[in-house]
Chain A
């Protein structure tokens, strides 16, 4: 098991280096605005632009730039500086991470609770009106684009532009330590938007796997043992059916920690996704590179955690 984990971690490091190399390549191969010109502003002389280009190290070949970048990360844990503000990328990410963490954690709890509850009820009440309507609504949520759902909620319930002035609208995010109450209320709509699709997917997934599990022979055994139906469902049925849910939960959380770009943009939440989005618009390459690395890191770590937790969830799984 230990050797398995070490091997996975080493592969993760290789993967992250590959991801950064690819990001470097994309940024240089595909047309994007010249950061030096953007930085210099309008009406600046070619000399100024050349100077800035040299300052930012953009006059060097791509592989040299990549080498310098990786060297700085490994030796100094230095992820470079924003082309515009000159601020260190690491501190920018640190500033933005709490908002993304808040958004992800709240939404994850919401969709997990909603998805699992609906999934279990639907599976147990399979074929009833309750099941059919729950699955119908789930289909709507799965099909709904996140940005559209977000805008609809803002137009309906936000205090500024909403039809019913109930929840704080866009750009109302406050840090948890500044004001827990405002932090909570400002995130309600984003949580719902972010959780909606996932809750629908999870409920459908769990419903399917629970229906399958409840048809297994060991469920018949559990009933033949004289267990209460509640125990049969939860300790025997759900226990088996939950494994695929755990898998996609880990991967989803990992992905979201890298920034919920659409939700953060619609609600103007200063998170990693927003940082990444803005940096792409302004060709602020060091920030793009930093956020991509962070996202890759989260996904890789989530994958490893999922695989390890699998060994605990299903005793038949053994890694060597």
Chain B
């Protein structure tokens, strides 16, 4: 397979705060192929937004520490100086955000903001920029773009604003579009329109998309590959088909079982994931998910699982200490609607050894000693 467009290798991002060091992203690796869509799924605080902001260097603040590599176009974005990285922002890689009302400047017209995006990367006259802004608004399906281009964001509806944001992101024909919860702030009907628009634009412009969401339903629509994040790590990664058909991680099961589905029996109960996301300052010992995992075994409290292929040579990977046959039985039991106690009895048959992480803890020294090949072997190949 050809060189991936974006390759994130063992990325670690931590922030020093008054309460302690927040390990927002803890050694994640993923790749995005040209023209493909990667969905990153997880709860708030799982590190999914931080990892993508880091791609654009937007987490480079005082008190932040960034390690690992983010390869894009043969260059490492982590090591790149600010003014060089600035030329990639909004140009090679563009980003759209959750709430389009607060993400657009309230005092400037939509057209002005679009032209500004163009003029920050290419020399184009204001009038030509304006013409292109109208074209872009037309491209993203905003009716009457000639008039709309002169309006302010507050004169747009929520869906139209997100379309305008997308138009702005497309201004410099990026190779990669990062969409951070692009539909979360929108009405359900509008959500579907925006997703359809993104899919359509991807087909027409051939760009790759990273879509970040807490909602598996969103990525089910458009993602080729899915990475499930929990507590700053990727706990499961595979193609969309694999994630939905043979999910391996108890957290992924939780996400899947907490979505209402039309094709499931009416009396089937939705199962929320109990507990709260862990503190990223004092993370749980062993498997970070163990305090919330219904299938936890004693050894899981000590052993930190590594992201491993589900079967040798497979791209589908999971970081879980339960053995593959046990996971398979639990998942089929879950689909049959068997009660929790029965499933927990299945889990208890696991010897619970699994595969521990080589580095064990997230200490930076240990991370540095991990050979770069380890990250690559985990990647989709």
Q: List residues of chain A with CB under 8 Å of any chain B CB.
A: 216-218, 220-228, 231, 235-236, 239-240, 313-316
Q: Tell me which of B88, B102, B107, B116 contacts A227 (CB under 8 A).
A: B116
Are A240's CB and B107's CB within 8 A?
yes
- Selected A-B contacts with CB under 8 Å, 18 pairs: A216-B102, A217-B102, A218-B103, A218-B104, A218-B105, A221-B104, A221-B168, A224-B58, A224-B90, A225-B94, A226-B117, A227-B90, A227-B116, A228-B86, A236-B105, A240-B106, A314-B107, A316-B106
Q: Does B89 reach chain A (CB closer than 8 Å)?
A: yes
- Least CB separation from B112: chain A residue: A235
Q: Tell me if B252 is interfacial: C-beta within 8 Å of chain A.
A: no
Contact of A239 with B104 in the complex, beta carbons under 8 Å: no
B91 within 8 A of A: yes
Query: By CB atoms of chain A within 10 A, which of B88, B106, B154 has the most?
Result: B106
Whether B120 lies near A225 (C-beta < 8 A) is yes
Q: A225-B117, A226-B89, A236-B105 are in contact. Are A220 and B168 (CB under 8 A)?
A: no
Q: Which of A217, A223, A231 contacts B89 (CB 8 A)?
A: A223
Q: For B116, list chain A residues within 8 Å (CB).
A: 225, 227, 235
Instruction: Provide the bound-state CA to CA distance between A313 and B105, in Å.
Output: 13
- In the complex, chain B residues whose CB is within 8 Å of the CB of A216: 102
Chain B residues with CB under 8 A of A218: 102-106
Specify which of A220, A226, A314 is in contact with B88 (CB 8 Å cutoff): A226
Which residues from chain B contact A217 at a C-beta distance below 8 Å? 97, 99, 102-103
User: Interface SS of chain A: helix, strand, loop or mixed?
Assistant: helix
Q: Please tell me if the beta carbons of A224 and B102 are within 8 angstroms of each other in the complex.
A: no
- In the complex, whether B132 has a CB less than 8 A from a CB of chain A is no
Interface string of B102-144 (1 = CB under 8 A from A): 1111110000000011001100000000000000000000000
12 more A-B contacts (CB under 8 A) besides A240-B105, A315-B106, A315-B154? A217-B103, A218-B104, A220-B97, A221-B105, A222-B105, A224-B58, A226-B91, A226-B121, A235-B116, A240-B106, A314-B106, A316-B154
Distance of A188 Cα from B86 Cα, bound (Å): 45
Determine how close the nearest CB of chain A comes to the CB of B251; give it in whole angstroms. Answer: 28
Q: Which residues of A contact B95 (CB under 8 A)?
A: 224
Contacts of B103 in A (CB 8 A): 217-218, 220-221
Point out the residues of chain A lying under 8 angstroms from B104, CB to CB: 218, 221
Residues of A close to B97: CB separation below 8 A:
217, 220-221, 224
Q: How far is the CA of A13 from the CA of B95 in the complex (A)?
A: 53
Q: How far is the CA of A225 from the CA of B88 in the complex (A)?
A: 9
- Provide the residues of chain A in CB contact with B91, threshold 8 Å: 226
* B32, chain A: closest CB distance, angstroms: 17
Report B-chain residues with C-beta under 8 Å of the C-beta of A236. Answer: 105
| Per-residue contact bits, chain B 331-375, to A (CB 8 Å; 1 contact, 0 not) | 000000000000000000000000000000000000000000000
Shortest distance between the CB of B38 and any CB in chain A (Å): 18
Complex contacts, B167 vs chain A, CB 8 Å: none
- Cross-chain contact A226 with B106 (CB below 8 angstroms): no
A223 proximity list for chain B (CB < 8 A): 56, 58, 89
Query: Which residues from A are CB-within-8-Å of B105?
Result: 218, 221-222, 236, 239-240
- The answer to whether B102 and A225 touch across the interface, beta carbons within 8 angstroms, is no
B261 at the interface (CB under 8 A from A): no
**A223, chain B: closest CB distance, angstroms:** 6
